[in-house]
Amino acid sequence: MDELEKWLKRDIRRRSAVQDAVQAADRIIVNASDASTEEINYLTGLVAQAFMHKVMCALSSELYYVDFEEDHPRVGTDQSA
């Protein structure tokens, strides 16, 4: 299997996982709502906001880690040599 095939398989698996997650969220939202369009849209917005918060926390954490490594390059390296 060449690199492109590996990449395509991973991409298909990830897209499928995202599609499954969105469908599951839709089912949960519809089941939890009073079935009005307004409440479904409101709950969908809250779910999107929660996911965006999760993404921003992860991005911030990564950025702070990069900044810390840049400011303290010797932390985490083998200093016994």
Q: Which of 59, 33, 60 is nearest to 46 (CA)?
A: 33
Q: Using CA atoms, how far apart are residues 78 and 19, in angstroms rounded to an integer?
A: 43
Confidence class for position 78, pLDDT limits 50, 70, 90? low
CB-CB contact of 30 with 36 (8 Å): no
Per-residue pLDDT tens for 34-77?
999 999 999 999 999 999 999 999 999 998 888 888 888 875 56
Q: Where are the domains of the chain?
A: 10-71
